[in-house]
Amino acid sequence: MAGTASLRWRLLAAVSVAVLLLWLLTAWFSYTKAQHEAEELMDGNLAQTGRLLLAITQDNEDDLGELAGRLATVRGAADNVYEPPLEFQLCLGDGTILARSIGAPDLPVLGVPGYSDILRKDGSWRVLNVVSGDGRHRVQVSQSIGLRDRAALEVAGQTVLPLAIITPVLLLLIYVSVVKALDPLNRLARDVASRSADNLAALSREDVPNEVGPLVAAINRLLLRVARALDNERRFTSDAAHELRTPLAAIKVQTQVARLSRDAAQTTRALGQIESGVDRATRLVEQLLRLARLDPLNVLPNPQPLDLLPLVEGTLANVLAANPALTQTVRHELPQSAPRVFGDADLLGIALRNLIDNAIRYTPAGSTIVIRQEDEEGGRVCLSVQDDGPGVPDELIARLGERFVRGRDALAEGSGLGLAIVSRIMELHGGHFSARNLATGGFAARLCGLVRADRDAAPAGA
Amino acid sequence: MRILLVEDDALLGDGIRAGLELDAYAVDWVRNGEQALHALAGHSYEACILDLGLPGKDGVAVLKETRRAGDRTPVLVLTARDTREDKIGGLDAGADDYLTKPFDLGELQARLRALIRRASGSARPVLEHRGVVLDPSTKRVTADGCEVMLSAREYALLHDLLSHPNHIRSRAQLEESLYAWGDETGSNTVEVYIHHLRKKLGADFIRTVRGLGYQLGGEG
């Protein structure tokens, strides 16, 4: 729990250290101030007493012998720390002592008028010499510095004492407040910790402090994205499993037909159908795997400048080799000077192949399928596969890149994944897949937004 | 016994058709929703096998439309989706039964027989008339306990007549029941099969109603 990462302990440490420092500062300041004030007070006391005694001396110059004795009997309790005893010496202007208190120190009486500290081995004294206006009388009042310091310390100590009592209480209050203030965070942590892996519901914003609000909002946005991604994943898995059921059903039914049939020709035919069914299921699985491999990618793993012409010619050769009994004409119209583009040769080959396969699948015998290279704005390049077939219903065109969406009346079986793969490949190339029916009849499918990597142009980003 | 098969998948459709033809059904196979509606409107079928996942107009839409049009052909739905919602949705749209892909051909045939039997208003699994018993599940016919060997067409014709015991079946009706689209039909093939059946089951087992068609002979 403790450690630098704990907000609670960091807050507590910072606030407590600050409070303690402040307390020390205040205590020191109060202490010195109180001490100083106590000194001033006692000095004032010294001055008042000095002037009083001077007046008495002037009035009763002859009768002073009794004064010391009388004062001695009314001296306060010596143990009262706030009353450090005052000693005095009353004398004439020439230094003749008329009277002195019993405990008065033996100090020279003809000192400079005013305050002075006299430090001696047998004791240090705070001394005030007062002289009458005509210079005929002098009074010396003195106080033991040791006792004065004790009194001042006592005062200062009493001033600081409440602070010393308040500080632990203050620290306790700070601790409780911090713990209390961080409680919503703990609740949040418990909420998240107690969740099962599939609970991706948004975190509650109730009782969440403003400072944590943005974090909770960000987490909720993340949860939403994760939930969506997970949802897509689940739907895809489920769709994929369902898509596999049809070829499996076909294989199963054809197998049973082969077993039940008593006609050798029919059995042979059913066996052939089983083989096609297995081929189709295999192709579906291959395409699913291809999509699954493309799905987690954000960028092309290995983009290279590649020549469009050999790419198109190579793909075309593959198509023709795979369809020896092709009833349509498939050709390309790329010039010898066809540009280079950045991309992955394998993936672009697959995308182009899928478009050509689709064109073959959805056009009747005798159709012509042409591959062209078109220039786009911004120096980008596009490959198009055009046919003169019946086209695609308009309401279907926008959904063509979705998974498991098939054209109608397919003349051959498709997995419904081909264009989804094309879309994904084009996304990875920073481009997109587009399709439209042609005004002149027929259908054009295009790989758009390929980035040029011409020989004379500096290869951007390479 | 003519069946409409609505299945867009070439391999599966081909397999089901072959499997049903083994059971002496005449199968019309269409591959999308529009063709299915067209076929249902133009012909009478003993039953329809309908894949729900059709391109374009899907199976549920076809089902709703035919039911709205008052068509009562028993429909067995094929679906790749096996959640409860999918099944309920199909049945509520007007299907009589469903099968989840992949399925067993034998089960498809049995369910089809049950559907046709229920639609004809009979709970009995065998058809019987004057000691002649036809068991659709084994495709065996017996007369007074002795097995009678019939060709597929003869069997189909007898099945049709036994399924409509108190009706006069016209030649056109019988032909439609016997042949799918594209089957070769001669000008007097129904008469030929009737003749064969009379030879095997007795001359008065099937009565000719002049100018109208054929009917099972009276009891006794």
Contact A247 B11 (CB under 8 A): yes
Same domain, B30 and B66: yes
Contact A266 B10 (CB under 8 A): no
Same domain, B145 and B206: yes
Looking up tokens 């019309």 gives B28
Q: Highest-confidence range of A99-108, A155-164, A447-456, B66-75, by mean pLDDT?
A: B66-75
Which DSSP string corresponds to A407-423?
Answer: -SS-SS---S-HHHHHH
Instruction: Report residue A424 CA to chain centroid gap.
Output: 33
- How close B75 gets to chain A, by Cα (Å)? 19
DSSP letter at A137 equals E
Q: Assess whether pLDDT exceeds 70 at residue A410.
A: no
Q: How many domains does chain B have?
A: 2
Same domain, B84 and B17: yes
Domains, chain A, with CATH or none: 7-173 (3.30.450), 213-294 (1.10.287.130), 304-451 (3.30.565.10)
Mean pLDDT of B71-92: 86
Tell me if the bond preceding B102 is cis, omega within 30° of 0.
yes
Final residue in a domain of this structure, among B96, B119, B142: B119
SS3 A436: strand
Alpha helix (H) ranges present in A295-442? 308-322, 345-362, 394-397, 418-428
Structure tokens at A389: 């077939």
Same domain, B85 and B106: yes
* Host domain of residue B170: 127-216
Strands (E), B1-90: 2-6, 26-30, 47-51, 75-79
pLDDT given for residue A295 in this prediction: 77
Instruction: Give the CATH number of the domain where residue B38 resides.
Output: 3.40.50.2300
Instruction: Give the CATH number of the domain where residue B144 resides.
Output: 1.10.10.10
Higher confidence at residue B209 or residue A237? B209
- For the ranges A67-76, A129-138, B65-74, B154-163, the lowest mean pLDDT is seen at A67-76
CB A377 within 8 A of CB A415: no
Contact B19 A251 (CB under 8 A): no
Q: In terms of pTM, does the model score above 0.80?
A: no
Q: Residue A247 class from Cβ within 10 Å (0-12 exposed, 13-18 middle, 19+ buried)?
A: buried
Contact B11 A407 (CB under 8 A): no
Same domain, B38 and B102: yes
* Nearest chain A residue (CA) to B12: A250
Higher confidence at residue A291 or residue A44? A44
Q: Assess whether pLDDT exceeds 80 at residue A68.
A: no
pLDDT given for residue A455 in this prediction: 56
Q: Assess whether pLDDT exceeds 60 at residue A34.
A: yes
CB A331 within 8 A of CB A371: yes
Taking residue A301's Cβ as centre, other Cβ atoms within 10 Å add up to: 8
- CA–CA distance from B148 to each of B132, B134, B140, B198, B208 (Å)? 9, 10, 8, 12, 22
- Please list every residue in chain B whose beta carbon sits closer than 8 Å to the beta carbon of residue A249: 12, 78, 80, 101-103
- Please list every residue in chain A whose beta carbon sits closer than 8 Å to the beta carbon of residue B22: 257, 260-261
Q: How confident is the model at residue A255 (pLDDT cuts 50, 70, 90)?
A: very high
Assembly ipTM = 0.78
Final residue in a domain of this structure, among B119, B153, B181: B119
Contact B105 A280 (CB under 8 A): no
- CA–CA distance from A47 to each of A29, A40, A57, A80, A141 (Å)? 27, 10, 15, 21, 8
Q: How confident is the model at residue A460 (pLDDT cuts 50, 70, 90)?
A: very low
Helices and strands counted in chain B (H then E): 8, 11
- CA–CA distance from B121 to each of A31, B97, B125, B129, B132 (Å)? 112, 16, 11, 16, 19
Q: What share of chain A is helix, strand, coil (3-state, %, to 5)?
A: 50, 15, 30
In angstroms and rounded to an integer, the radius of gyration of the C-alpha atoms of chain B is 18
- Please list every residue in chain B whose beta carbon sits closer than 8 Å to the beta carbon of residue A254: 11, 14-15, 18
DSSP bridge pairs for B77: B50, B98
DSSP letter at A452 equals B
- Please list every residue in chain B whose beta carbon sits closer than 8 Å to the beta carbon of residue A277: 11
Same domain, B113 and B174: no
For all residues of chain A together, what is the average pLDDT? 84
- Please list every residue in chain B whose beta carbon sits closer than 8 Å to the beta carbon of residue A248: 101-102
Q: Enumerate chain B positions whose Cβ falls within 8 A of a Cβ in A.
A: 8-12, 14-16, 18-19, 22, 31-32, 53, 55-56, 78, 80-81, 100-106, 108
Same domain, B105 and B139: no
Which DSSP string corresponds to A63-81?
Answer: STHHHHHHHHHTPPPTT-T
Exposure b/e, B119-131, CB count within 10 A at least 16 = b? eeeeeeebbebbe
pLDDT given for residue A452 in this prediction: 87
Smallest Cα–Cα separation from B162: which of B106, B192, B201, B203?
B201
A411 part of contact set with chain B, CB < 8 Å: no
Same domain, B143 and B80: no
Hey, what amino acid is at B213? Answer: G
For all residues of chain B together, what is the average pLDDT? 88
pLDDT given for residue B13 in this prediction: 93
Please state, in angstroms and rounded to a whole number, the distance separating the CA atoms of residues A216 and A220: 6
Please state, in angstroms and rounded to a whole number, the distance separating the CA atoms of residues B11 and B26: 18
Q: Assess whether pLDDT exceeds 50 at residue A459.
A: no
Q: How confident is the model at residue A77 (pLDDT cuts 50, 70, 90)?
A: low
Same domain, B11 and B85: yes
Per-residue pLDDT reduced to its tens digit, A157-211: 888 888 888 888 988 998 898 888 888 888 888 888 888 877 888 888 777 788 8
- For the ranges A254-258, A308-312, B174-178, the lowest mean pLDDT is seen at B174-178
Structure tokens at B103: 């399925």
Torsion of CA B196, B202, B208, B213, to 10 degrees: -50
Per-residue pLDDT reduced to its tens digit, B23-43: 889 999 998 889 999 999 988
Q: Residue A171 class from Cβ within 10 Å (0-12 exposed, 13-18 middle, 19+ buried)?
A: middle
Mutate which of B78, B105, B138 to test chain A, going by most A C-beta atoms within 10 A? B105
Q: Which residues contact A31 (CB under 8 A, 6 or more apart)?
A: A156, A157, A159, A160
Exposure b/e, B72-102, CB count within 10 A at least 16 = b? ebbbbbbbbbeeeebbebbeebbbbbbbbbb
- How close A280 gets to chain B, by Cα (Å)? 10
CB A442 within 8 A of CB A386: yes
Same domain, B30 and B136: no
Contact A256 B32 (CB under 8 A): no
Final residue in a domain of this structure, among B119, B137, B157: B119
Q: Which residues contact B143 (CB under 8 A, 6 or more apart)?
A: B131, B132, B133, B200, B201, B202
- How close A403 gets to chain B, by Cα (Å)? 14
A250 part of contact set with chain B, CB < 8 Å: yes
Contact A254 B11 (CB under 8 A): yes
CB A389 within 8 A of CB A363: yes
Same domain, B89 and B134: no
Same domain, B114 and B176: no
Please state, in angstroms and rounded to a whole number, the distance separating the CA atoms of residues A184 and A225: 25
Contact A252 B53 (CB under 8 A): no
Taking residue A262's Cβ as centre, other Cβ atoms within 10 Å add up to: 7
Angle A442-A443-A448 from CA coordinates, rounded to 5°: 150
Contact A242 B80 (CB under 8 A): yes
pLDDT given for residue A207 in this prediction: 76
Nearest CB to B80: which of A246, A273, A393? Answer: A246
A246 part of contact set with chain B, CB < 8 Å: yes
Structure tokens at A246: 């049809």
- Please list every residue in chain A whose beta carbon sits closer than 8 Å to the beta carbon of residue B62: none
Per-residue pLDDT reduced to its tens digit, A325-378: 889 999 999 998 888 999 988 889 989 999 998 899 888 899 999 999 988 888
Mean pLDDT of A85-109: 84
Looking up tokens 């012909």 gives B43
CB B213 within 8 A of CB B171: yes
